[in-house]
A and B are shown apart, each in its own frame.
Chain A
């Protein structure tokens, strides 16, 4: 295009940013990005691929080629994107430029849902365009060198890094390439098309491809790719990927053309394929005392570093390290060296029995490291004061190729052996971390580590001087550092003032309920700080509910029969709480609050009946009228609980609308509340619903996890490796898991897989659902593409809910919560198994969690400890068990 056309496009882009900013200001975009999970790794997937990647483009027109036959409306683009994905392309490129390319932001939003990483192809010239790309769902953004001066180019590359996107920096000639490399670009597109004349010269672009490749960049060949031969030529010249648009779109079946290119794509020398952890590992370094070690164990750090570098002020001898390591349980020991010889390292490993090392002060020792690394578990390679991202990448890849498991970027001014406290190179780490996992060290301390994690999303954080006071390890600082390092960057660990966990939660209810929710929130905030309320709750926990509930280890021989290799499984016995399930913890707390607020009338919804029974129980004790809404289907399948509620003096109102299950009961309870809001307290039974319910319910159920963490520390001297719970609405799960959020323990939520994965056959809102609003909260739902909520299925009434608590949605999105599903059949079988081998009949809900552990059992190492929430007893399910398993 003539220079003026390019100028027009740039001006139009600037205008778009300005008008869009009036509707969605930049501050709002940044805040939104802060709540989003990390973008997909566009650059890393190209760099690591074994074959040349095909990036397929969608656009409706271009100045050079005229119009293509892509219909208006994002559905057409999404459809094409889906077909490209099925054809095997590695990534997508979506034009959002409307004036000459017929693109739209909606096209990008729709394409980002398909699966492969997506590039925003537009004429981005400002910060706004970059942040907007991220919010719209892009994983990479195009920056055209020709359109930007040096200052702006550098800035936008940095902004992309800050926004968590890759920058594809496009050049056409040698001088533009030079500028891109000076601006520290790592992903470079060589456009064979001259933007001024619109002519394409593929041959002429080959030397540029070679030069960019030799400079260490990941190279994308853009334009002029007509067929497999062209792909081969650019590949030979160093391209890792090709971006094809026009040549696909001008044929009848673009996806078929893409498939041809994919099949013929030549092999290449891939960079390292590495897995990126979902959260930062935490290393506590420079420990020299038993107190320091204990603090790291209590806080459940991932690694403890013992400095063997004799020049360091924090040095310990190998023998002393051996003493400290001997009875260490939980965090893994790492011996820290500076410029060591192979012998030094091997001797220290032998003396201490450690299986981890950290090497600084040298480039990766390619001659001996692979051998040593093969025999141990952890090798941390330190990259000191990298000057640019490309330099850091080169060093990191050398370490990883030599056998390192982690790479640690250290700030400038690091003294020998660790820490003068000078700053960690976050700006480099955040960009490098998109390509290879990278840790950071340098001046990290409790007060700044949460920010560093949010900012740079490192794979590892490390501190030494920041954990000390007066030259000694400070247990309080160690604890705080580990906890703060583990705070969910997207905010899922804690509710914010708008009632959100990350982007989930909130209050989407009819206006009539707003005053009630405000009053409830105020009453709750006051009560939880009030010594009288807390004392009452403690008394009722101990003397009425029967807390603390025990943890019971399943006998080893029982586990061995199911393929266990020595791992221990601990059942947290919430089935022994009064009324037979964890629901009582929440019902008592909320009913006490109702009494405090002077509400004479309590309503509740119930699925399996456990929450209804618990609420009826609490109301009977505290003298309040209780009405329980229960679906007619559930009334039939959980009859014993219905009778109990009657005995306790509650009125059970059958709900016949919809399918007569939990969600209909919840709808009806909400309708009652709207009609009777002034004198009624709604005791919501799970961690779902509008704010403040999810937070309040989680707080009231946290006693489960708090007790269990202390009980296991007492029994095994450390934090368990995994915490497993079934997830319906999520109250038992969040209750046992919240006190472990800041530990290294895996958190595993088990959903009802029902009859299968088809919509309506299960209740797997996290695993198979999509985000939406139900019962007052923005969360994950089982719903159809039109936004109608689909009735879930599970043999267990308590898991049969189409939504899930918003905090669990946030934790699942950030990866902190792993999500599995267990089928009806597995849950039924497990119920019988546990009854016959341990004499415990679990509720069908809880059996899902146990079933998931049994599935994992053969793969768990002998020293693993798994904590499972046995959230309720199964007496209520005997009818179902007899019906479903008649032969047993």
Chain B
């Protein structure tokens, strides 16, 4: 099964279950490789539908202090793309078949050559990639390469993204479309940004089922998740999980996932396209 197919299947299953899919972000190598594996398994056990495996980078300009600081710890411990691949490989070897996407800035993906890197990612069982500093259409060859290997690519959409570019991102995203409903970098916020629900619904409307639409950045509490769940096909929890890992280990991370997942259930008037 190709990456896009596996990802779509997970979203469909969540929709059938009348809830938004929960996507858990696990920073690979944080605080150590072993811990990250425990975190990933805890998230899956707690009901995460998809995993995002983050690759720490020396210059994470789209990340706030939580992920940036954790990234530094992971790098100091030898983390990076190879370590992220090992995490994916371990999860597959241990029988987990949830969709896994690797989230990495562009530079680490280019270091060994894009063909070699993508081949290697797919070989360990990665289903897709999210590259926060790669706008749709900025590297068409990479998009085609990923497609030919069965690797999904997810592009991001922000509140100020033009309709034309939203359309471009929808067409180019073969995994899910990542809506960031706020101006800013990653990092837990207390409340949902104003206009978030409208933005996500509007983008989902435009997508019209062509690609599942997931929202992320800033989500950390049940009320926030509950507020957005009706509007989105999936919700991404990032910094909150990294903070939980930092403060309470895999146990705390698992508990948070369980808690937030419960808030993903939506009322029955949700339209399933």
Q: Which residues of A contact B (CB under 8 A)?
A: 22-24, 28, 74, 105-106, 109-110, 506-512, 514-516, 657-658, 663, 667, 670-671, 674-678, 771-776, 781, 783, 785-790
B268: A residues at CB distance < 8 A: none
Question: Is B59 an interface residue, CB under 8 A from the partner?
Answer: yes
Annotate B143-154 by CB proximity to A: 1 below 8 A, 0 otherwise. Answer: 011011000000
Give the Cβ gap from B179 to chain A, nearest Cβ, in Å.
Answer: 10
Contact at B110–A773, with CB atoms within 8 Å?
A: yes
A-B residue pairs, 5 tightest by C-beta: A787-B111, A787-B108, A512-B158, A675-B184, A789-B58
Assess whether B269 is interfacial by the CB under 8 Å rule.
no
B42 CB to nearest chain A CB (Å): 27
Candidates B59, B109, B119, B138; contact of A106 at CB < 8 Å: B119
* A22-B148, A512-B158 known; A506-B138 Cβ under 8 A: yes
User: Known: A106-B115, A775-B61. Is A514-B109 also a contact (CB below 8 A)?
Assistant: no
What are 13 residue pairs bridging A and B, where the CB atoms are less than 8 Å apart in the complex? A23-B141, A23-B145, A106-B115, A109-B113, A508-B138, A512-B158, A674-B185, A678-B160, A773-B133, A774-B107, A786-B80, A787-B80, A788-B75
Interface membership of B134, Cβ < 8 A: yes
> Would you call A789 and B133 a contact (CB within 8 A)?
no
- Which listed residue, A74, A658, A671, A789, touches B116 by the CB 8 Å rule? A74
State whether B160 touches A677 (Cβ < 8 A). Answer: yes
Q: Given the complex of chains A and B, what is the CA–CA distance between A671 and B68 in angstroms?
A: 12
Q: What is the CB-to-nearest-CB distance from B177 to chain A, in angstroms, rounded to a whole number?
A: 11
Q: Which residue of B lies closest to A676 (CB)?
A: B183
Closest to B157 in A: A511
B121-147 vs A, Cβ < 8 Å mask (1 yes, 0 no): 000000000001111101011001101
Q: Is the CB of A772 within 8 A of B141?
A: no
Tell me whether A670 and B135 are in contact in the complex, defined as CB-CB below 8 angstroms, given that A785-B111, A786-B111 are known contacts.
no
Q: Are B59 and A774 in contact (CB under 8 A)?
A: yes
Query: Which A-chain residue is minimally distant from B57 (CB atoms)?
Result: A788
Contact indicator B138/A787 (Cβ below 8 Å) = no
B92 to chain A, nearest CB (A): 19
Task: Give CA–CA (A556, B115) in the complex, Å.
Answer: 56
User: In whole Å, how far is A232's beta carbon from the nearest beta carbon of chain B?
Assistant: 39
Of the listed stretches B32-40, B161-169, B207-215, B238-246, chain A binds B161-169
- Closest CB-CB distance, A75 to chain B, in whole Å? 9
Query: Which of A511, A675, A783, A788 has most chain B Cβ within 10 Å?
Result: A511
Chain A residues within 8 Å of B147, by CB: 23
The closest CB in chain A to the CB of B56 belongs to A788
**B residues near A788, Cβ cutoff 8 Å:** 57-58, 75, 80, 107-108
**Chain B residues within CB distance 8 Å of chain A:** 57-62, 64-65, 68-69, 72, 75, 80-82, 105-113, 115-116, 119, 132-136, 138, 140-141, 144-145, 147-148, 155-162, 165, 169, 180, 183-185
A22 surroundings in chain B (CB, below 8 A): 144, 148
How many angstroms between the C-alpha atoms of A663 and B82 in the bound complex?
Answer: 25
Residues of A within 8 A of B155 (CB): 511
Please measure, in the bound complex, the distance between the C-alpha atom of A244 and the C-alpha atom of B162, giving whole angstroms: 58
CB <8 Å contact, A508 and B135: yes
Residues of B within 8 A of A515 (CB): 160-162
In the docked arrangement, what's the CA distance between A790 and B107, Å? 12
Residues of A within 8 A of B156 (CB): 510-511
Chain B residues contacting A771 (CB-CB under 8 Å) are 110
Q: Tell me the interface secondary structure of chain A in the complex.
A: mixed
Is the pair A510, B132 in contact by a Cβ cutoff of 8 Å? yes
User: What is the minimal beta-carbon distance from A169 to any residue of chain B, in angstroms?
Assistant: 28
Closest CB in chain B relative to A785 CB, distance in Å: 6
For B144, the closest partner residue in chain A by CB is: A23
Query: Is B161 within 8 A of A511, CB to CB?
Result: yes
Closest-by-CB residue of B relative to A670 is B61
Neighbouring A residues of B185 by C-beta, 8 Å: 671, 674-675
Q: Which of A74, A508, A789 contacts B134, CB < 8 Å? A: A508
Task: Report the separation of the CA atoms of residues A789 and B107 in the bound assembly, to the nearest whole angstrom.
Answer: 9
B132 nearest CB neighbor, chain A only: A510
Using CB atoms, name the residue of chain A closest to B114. A109
A94 to chain B, nearest CB (A): 14
Neighbouring A residues of B141 by C-beta, 8 Å = 23-24, 28
Return B23 CB to nearest CB of chain A, in Å: 18
CB atoms of A783 and B183 under 8 A apart: no
Chain B residues near A775 (CB, 8 Å)? 59, 61
Give bound CA distance, A674 to B180, whole Å.
12
Please give me the residue from chain B that is nearest to A803 by CB atom: B59
Chain B residue at smallest Cβ distance from A786: B80
Interface centre among B59, B62, B106 (most CB of A within 10 A): B59
Nearest A residue to B162, CB-CB: A515
Would A776 and B133 be within 8 Å (CB), given that A24-B144, A787-B109 are in contact?
Answer: yes
B59–A789 touching, CB < 8 Å: yes
With a cutoff of 8 Å between Cβ atoms, the chain B residues found around residue A509 in the complex are 133, 135
Smallest CB separation, B29 vs chain A (Å):
12
Shortest beta-carbon distance from B144 to chain A in Å: 5
Taken together as a complex, chains A and B put the C-alpha atoms of A772 and B104 apart, in Å, by: 14
Q: Kindly state the separation between the CA atoms of A141 and B141 in the bound complex, as whole angstroms.
A: 23
- Which residues on A sit within 8 Å (CB–CB) of B116? 74, 106, 109-110
Contact in complex: A511, B59 (CB < 8 Å):
no
Supposing A109-B115, A109-B116 touch, asked if A514 and B106 sit within 8 A by C-beta, the answer is no
Task: Tell whether A677 pairs with B107 under 8 Å between CB atoms, given A511-B169, A786-B80.
Answer: no
- Across the interface, which residues of A come within 8 angstroms of B138, CB to CB? 506-508
Q: How far is it, in angstroms, between the C-alpha of A787 and the C-alpha of B131 when the chains are bound?
A: 14
Q: Closest Cβ of chain B: how far from A497's Cβ, in Å?
A: 13
Q: Could you tell me if B165 and A511 are in contact, using CB atoms closer than 8 angstroms?
A: yes
Given contacts A106-B116, A675-B184, 15 further A-B pairs with CB under 8 A are: A22-B144, A24-B141, A24-B145, A28-B141, A507-B138, A510-B132, A510-B158, A511-B136, A514-B161, A657-B68, A674-B183, A786-B108, A787-B81, A788-B57, A788-B75
Chain A residues lying within 8 Å of B82, measured Cβ to Cβ, are: 786
Instruction: Give complex CA distance A506, B72 in Å.
Output: 27
Shortest C-beta distance, A592 to chain B (Å), equals 24
Closest Cβ of chain A: how far from B173's Cβ, in Å? 12
Assembled-state Cα–Cα distance A516/B158 (Å) = 12
C-alpha gap A484/B59 in the complex (Å)? 40
CB of A508 within 8 A of CB of B133, answer yes
Is the Cβ of B183 less than 8 Å from the Cβ of A677?
yes
In the complex, the answer to whether A667 meets B107 with C-beta atoms within 8 Å is no
- Complex CA gap A788/B108 in Å reads 6
Indicate which residue in A510, A516, A781, A783 contacts B62 across the interface (CB closer than 8 Å): A510
Chain B residues closer than 8 Å to A786, beta-carbon distance: 80-82, 108, 111
A658 to B68 Cα, complex, angstroms: 9
In the bound assembly, the distance between CA atoms of A506 and B142 in angstroms comes to: 15
Please indicate the chain A residues that have their CB under 8 angstroms from the CB of B59 in the complex: 658, 663, 667, 774-775, 789
A511 pairs with B80, CB closer than 8 A: no
Q: A769 to nearest B CB, angstroms? A: 12
Residues of A within 8 A of B57 (CB): 788
Chain A nearest CB, measured from B106 CB (Å): 4
Q: Chain A residue with minimal CB distance to B68?
A: A657
Q: How far is the CA of A667 from the CA of B62 in the complex (A)?
A: 9
Give bound CA distance, A644 to B185, whole Å. Answer: 31
**Residue on B with the closest CB to A663?**
B59
* Chain B residue nearest to A788 in the complex (CB): B58
Instruction: A515 to B90: give the CA distance in the assembly, Å.
Output: 40
CB of B184 within 8 A of CB of A773, answer: no
Residues of A within 8 A of B80 (CB): 786-788
The answer for the CA separation of A788 and B184 in the assembled complex, in Å, is: 23
- Docked-complex contact B107 and A106, CB < 8 angstroms: no
Q: Are A514 and B135 in contact (CB under 8 A)?
A: yes
- A136 CB, min distance to chain B CBs, angstroms: 9
Rounded to whole angstroms, the CA-CA distance of A678 and B68 in the bound complex is 24
Bound state CA distance, A667 and B61, in angstroms? 5
Closest to B80 in A: A786
Residues of B within 8 Å of A785, CB to CB, are 111
Q: How far is the CB of A791 from chain B (nearest CB, A)?
A: 8
- How distant is the Cα of A510 from the Cα of B147 in the complex, in angstroms? 22
Among residues of A, the one whose C-beta sits closest to the C-beta of B83 is A786
Looking at A675, A676, A775, the one whose CB has the most chain B CB atoms below 10 A away is A675
